[in-house]
Amino acid sequence: MDPGTVLSGRRVDLGGVQFGMVDGLGVAWRIGADGLQGWDSAEVRSTVTQRQSAHGAWMGPTYLGERVITLGGTITAPTAGLLDGAVEQLLAAVPLDDYATLTVYESTPKQVSVRQSGKPVIKYETDTIVTWSVLVTAPDPRRYGVDLRTATTGLPSTTGGLVLPAAPPWTISATTVSGFITAANEGSIAALPVFTIAGPVQQPRVNVQYPDGTVATIAYSQTLVAGDVLVLDCAEHTAVLGGASRRRYVSGDWPVIPAGASVQILFGSALYDPAATLTVSWRPAWR
């Protein structure tokens, strides 16, 4: 088969290995018909407490657990030497102490971050064909869109609002400029944004208005000077400035972007500075 040939079955990437394709050396990487188990759903954990002297039970919060995925298929190579090299490439694609990106090309491609959580199984069927299976785990069970979305705004400012000296006192209405970002999540579970605030800015805050009109606010109590970049990660609940944690200076909520909804994000501060910026990064997320 010619390099670049797309094979039948699923298209999946694990690290630098492309399954469902023939690579540049003529090696065919295939995912089996049942070679993507666990991709459909993560385990669910919840607490159920039986009611006393009554029928039924009390349900506690329900959460997704880690996503455990078993990948399996075949590798077919033109020569035994190329097959040995392909097996080593497969093993290297499943890290022990770091994360690899697993991408599944559905109608909307999605990805998770995984690491090895079980012994790989490699079986030589011939000197040019192996069947294989690897077990990986995604601690974050959300399946994310592959395209990172970003938007940047400055602090809101106003133009106009002049009162003319002539009688009657004519007023020109003020117009708010910038300061807003709209972020959409067409997925099936809340997406967790990252807010990157660049100084100079005094006591910056980010307000997120949900579709029902409620507002979540995350605020930083200190001043950022020119060159300072504060990163607020709503997934990890971290605040990092220059490589150091500034979590103790953060108050309020860790906002999310709800499933199937859009939010309005407003950048604010104690004082206006035209050089301050807020960048919002997020990916749509699916269960």
User: What distance in Å separates the CA atoms of residue 285 and residue 133, rounded to the nearest whole number?
Assistant: 27
Q: Based on the domain organization, do 168 and 201 belong to the same domain?
A: yes
Q: For the domain that residue 194 is a member of, what is the CATH number?
A: 2.60.120.860
Q: For residue 4, is pLDDT > 70?
A: yes
Average pLDDT, integer, range 260-279: 96
- Domain assignment of residue 6, yes or no: no
What range does the domain containing 48 cover?
A: 12-142
- Name the phi and psi angles at 126, rounded to 5: -140, -175
Peptide bond into 139 cis (omega under 30): no
pLDDT digits (tens, 9 = 90+) for 104-151: 999 999 999 999 999 999 999 999 999 999 999 999 999 999 999 999
State residue 111's pLDDT score.
Answer: 98
Residues 6+ away with beta carbon under 8 Å from 76: 27, 28, 30, 83, 128, 129
Q: Which residue has the tokens 């660049």?
A: 198
- Domain assignment of residue 3, yes or no: no
Q: Based on the domain organization, do 125 and 171 belong to the same domain?
A: no
Q: For the domain that residue 57 is a member of, what is the CATH number?
A: 2.40.30.200
- Domain assignment of residue 208, yes or no: yes
Q: Based on the domain organization, do 30 and 89 belong to the same domain?
A: yes
Average pLDDT, integer, range 50-74: 94
Q: Based on the domain organization, do 157 and 260 belong to the same domain?
A: yes
Query: What are the angstrom distances between the C-alpha of 176 and each of 158, 162, 179?
Result: 5, 14, 8
**How many structural domains comprise the chain?**
2
pLDDT digits (tens, 9 = 90+) for 82-103: 999 999 999 999 888 899 999 9
Q: Based on the domain organization, do 157 and 101 belong to the same domain?
A: no
Q: Which residue has the tokens 């990163």?
A: 231
Q: Based on the domain organization, do 281 and 153 belong to the same domain?
A: yes
Name the pTM for this structure.
0.86
User: What distance in Å separates the CA atoms of residue 265 and residue 283, rounded to the nearest whole number?
Assistant: 15
Give me the chain's average pLDDT, please: 92
Average pLDDT, integer, range 208-214: 95
pLDDT confidence bin for 169, thresholds 50/70/90: very low
Q: Based on the domain organization, do 166 and 281 belong to the same domain?
A: yes
Q: For residue 161, is pLDDT > 90?
A: no
Write the secondary structure of the chain as one string of H (helix), E (strand) and C (coil): CCCCCECCCCCEEECCEEECEECCCCCEEEEEEEEEECCCCCCEEEEEEECCCCCCEEEEEEEECCEEEEEEEEEECCCHHHHHHHHHHHHHCCCCCCCEEEEECCCCCEEEEEEECCCCEEEECCCCEEEEEEEEEECCCCEEECCCEEEEEECCEEECCCECCCCCCCECCCEEECCEEEEEECCCCCECCEEEEECCEECCEEEEECCCCCEEEEEECCEECCCCEEEEECCCCEEEECCEECHHHEEECCCCECCCEEEEEEEECCCCCCCCEEEEEECCEEC
Residues 6+ away with beta carbon under 8 Å from 88: none
Q: Based on the domain organization, do 80 and 199 belong to the same domain?
A: no
- Domain assignment of residue 4, yes or no: no
Q: Based on the domain organization, do 95 and 206 belong to the same domain?
A: no
- Domain assignment of residue 215, yes or no: yes
- Domain assignment of residue 236, yes or no: yes
Q: Based on the domain organization, do 126 and 172 belong to the same domain?
A: no
Give the residue from 111, 142, 173 where a domain finishes.
142
Q: Contact 10/31 with Cβ under 8 angstroms?
A: yes
Q: Based on the domain organization, do 155 and 257 belong to the same domain?
A: yes
The better pLDDT of the pair 41, 204 is held by 204
Give the residue from 142, 162, 192 where a domain finishes.
142
Give the residue from 87, 109, 142 where a domain finishes.
142
Q: Based on the domain organization, do 171 and 52 belong to the same domain?
A: no
Residues 6+ away with beta carbon under 8 Å from 34: 72
- Domain assignment of residue 1, yes or no: no
- Domain assignment of residue 265, yes or no: yes
